[in-house]
Structure 1
Amino acid sequence: MSFKKFVPFLVPVALLATPACAADKAAARPDLDPAVWVVKDKDTTIYLFGTVHALDGKKDWFNDEVKASFDKSDELVTEIIMPEKPEELQPLVMKYGIDLSGKTLPSKLSPQGQKNLSAAIAQSGLPATAFDYMKPFLASITLTTLQFQKMGMGPENGAEKVLTTAAKAANKKTSALETADYQLGLFGALPEAEQVRMLEKGLEESAEVPAKVGKLVDAWGKADTETVGRIMEADDADSELLHKVLITDRNANWATWISKRLDQPGTVFVAVGAGHLAGKDSVQSLLKAKGIASARVPHKE
């Protein structure tokens, strides 16, 4: 399925799904070393960390320069503030993700799309009518989330959850660049034809998801941002609209936020989806266009 649906934007809907099993924290875990960037002036330091929202918890990434940069920071800034109770998001899902017109989801799809949707629902174990009144984008994200869970990956092991838990334990301030309302609203505002295209493409490519996710997480864990960027851009190639709405426009907003935040003294750890910090439209590229330099935090063995 399209990486747009499960890497940068999965958190709000994923939190509504049945949690995957958490990893055994007592077991020794292989080490990962994802990249961290820094933006600074004379009295402000802003670390930029690209996250994966859903992980299996079997590898240790919260160490070395990631942990050191986090520990130096006074504040954690994420895309959204994750709710304490997933059910708190249900009103937003109803607001943006449910079609009240009476037109069912299958009726919006091509004959092949209908067959693929029926097969995916059957594999999920949910009732055949469970998706009837979902808007296509919500069905797409929900099916992707369920597939992630079958792979043992969930937001309870994702980077945001780990970082937020650590911030609370250290009494750090937490804030967000966006709200869940805003994020789900972006999807809800997409033209129906674009949502249908996104869903049908995802259904066609669902068998490729495990391999793609494995490749992406592997590149992320090796700080191989060039590969992350190539994966994201290849996945974006079929929809300029999705790339603009979900990547470029939001990155521009965040670059503006960072430029303004430099006016306030302090040290901040900003954690956003890894796809936002890779590729030609990355946050760092947009900062550079504003005359603001960013640099990789050196990795120490």
Structure 2
Amino acid sequence: MLRHWLPKALLLPLYLTLTACPAVQQEAASASDKAVTETAHKPAVMPADPDPALWVIRDRDTTIYLFGTIHILKPGMSWFDEAVKESFDASDELVVEMIKPDPAVMVKIVTELGIDKTGVSLRDKLTPEDRADYEAALIKLNLPVAAFDPLDPWFASVNLSILPLTRTGYQADQGVEDELLAQAAARAIPITGLETPEQQLGFFDNLPEEVQIRFLNFTVDTIDEAVDGMEIMVAEWANANVDALGELMNAGLEDRILYETLLVNRNANWAEWVDQRMEKPGTVFLAVGAGHLAGESSLQALLAKKGHVAERVKY
């Protein structure tokens, strides 16, 4: 399910243009079914008291908490309590994927990276069959078929895949990072971004166009299952079912280029950051997309190779 490998930078531009958030595309129900079958795990039921997974790395004078986030949620989820809140309150620095820029700055970045510069309409880049499916999807969403013609394929995918979610109650300003950033601002503690907006959006803009078009076609093919897939993923996150969550998310990363770009390379960079940060005293609360903390290429796995063992916080 590709949605939760996507950078946080996609939240703000979509919120400004379509009341949206990050999601180039998703395996949704098809990927969810596959993961459930492979792991013999039935999809979790949303708990009344969400308790997402939390890890900690410690040495003599440094503590770093690792917390997996969901970038878009429905209002009213009470996850910021118990061990999560206690760990956050004990921290003197918040680290997130990206610090939100001023909205006007973000719009400028998106305009530069998400708008096509070749002069060829998005629909004209598709085969006749793919174009027919794409236009049918737009019509089903009550959008003009030319709505995304000026966009690069990756950005059209983002917009298409998020619309079903926002129409069923998910809100771009209700993600985990939004709450953590507000809490950090209230306490006036330092906030560090691991990546810049330009870097995050550049991951997609720099993909070969044929890869972007595959993303778009896949988004069209799975758009009807977006909401169900999201519901399953959020429930697994809320129940701290890390293995099941990893299976769900890895199911959407079969394209090697995507896997390397969105997961492996970023986790490697972040592992290096954590390794260097462990040389300084203090307590850090590091919050990144939950997909980065699950599976064989997780941030914890890369940190273990550097000698840092992440222990699960039991609560």
Asked if TM exceeds 0.5, the reply is yes
- Give the corresponding residue for 1:69: 87
Moved more, 94-103 or 73-82: 94-103
TM-score when normalising by structure 2: 0.87
- Quick check: 2:93–2:283 contact (8 Å CA) kept in 1? yes
User: How much does 1:110 deviate?
Assistant: 2.2
User: How much does 1:282 deviate?
Assistant: 0.1
**Letter of the 1:34 counterpart:** P
- Give the corresponding residue for 2:291: 275
Structure 2 residue 59 is matched with structure 1 residue 41: yes
Moved over 4 A (4+): none
After superposition, what is the alpha-carbon deviation per residue over 1:49-102, rounded to whole angstroms, capped at 9, x for unaligned? Answer: 0000000023211111111110100011100002353x4311111221111211
- Give the corresponding residue for 2:8: 11
User: How much does 1:232 deviate?
Assistant: 1.1
- Quick check: 1:232–1:275 contact (8 Å CA) kept in 2? yes
- In structure 2, what is the Cα distance between the partners aligned to 1:178 and 1:202? 26
Structure 2 residue 244 is matched with structure 1 residue 247: no
- Quick check: 1:49–1:269 contact (8 Å CA) kept in 2? yes
- Give the corresponding residue for 1:103: 120
User: How much does 1:220 deviate?
Assistant: 0.4
User: How much does 1:130 deviate?
Assistant: 2.1
User: How much does 1:213 deviate?
Assistant: 0.9
**Letter of the 1:120 counterpart:** A
After superposition, what is the alpha-carbon deviation per residue over 1:196-232, rounded to whole angstroms, capped at 9, x for unaligned? Answer: 0011011101111111111111110011000011111
- Give the corresponding residue for 2:69: 51
Identity of aligned pairs, percent? 40
- In structure 1, what is the Cα distance between the partners aligned to 2:8 and 2:275? 26
- Quick check: 1:33–1:221 contact (8 Å CA) kept in 2? yes
- Give the corresponding residue for 2:110: 93
- Give the corresponding residue for 2:31: none
User: How much does 1:285 deviate?
Assistant: 0.3
| Cα RMSD (Å) | 1.5
- Quick check: 1:288–1:294 contact (8 Å CA) kept in 2? yes
- In structure 2, what is the Cα distance between the partners aligned to 1:92 and 1:84? 11
User: How much does 1:10 deviate?
Assistant: 5.2
- Quick check: 2:8–2:97 contact (8 Å CA) kept in 1? no
Within 5 Å, give how 1:139-154 maps onto structure 2: 139-154=156-171
Unpaired runs of at least 5, structure 1: 21-28
- Quick check: 2:7–2:97 contact (8 Å CA) kept in 1? no
- Quick check: 2:98–2:193 contact (8 Å CA) kept in 1? yes
- Give the corresponding residue for 2:26: none
Look up the SS of the partner of 1:15 in the other structure.
Answer: helix
Moved more, 195-204 or 141-150: 141-150
- Quick check: 1:14–1:154 contact (8 Å CA) kept in 2? no
**Letter of the 1:220 counterpart:** W
- Give the corresponding residue for 2:306: 290
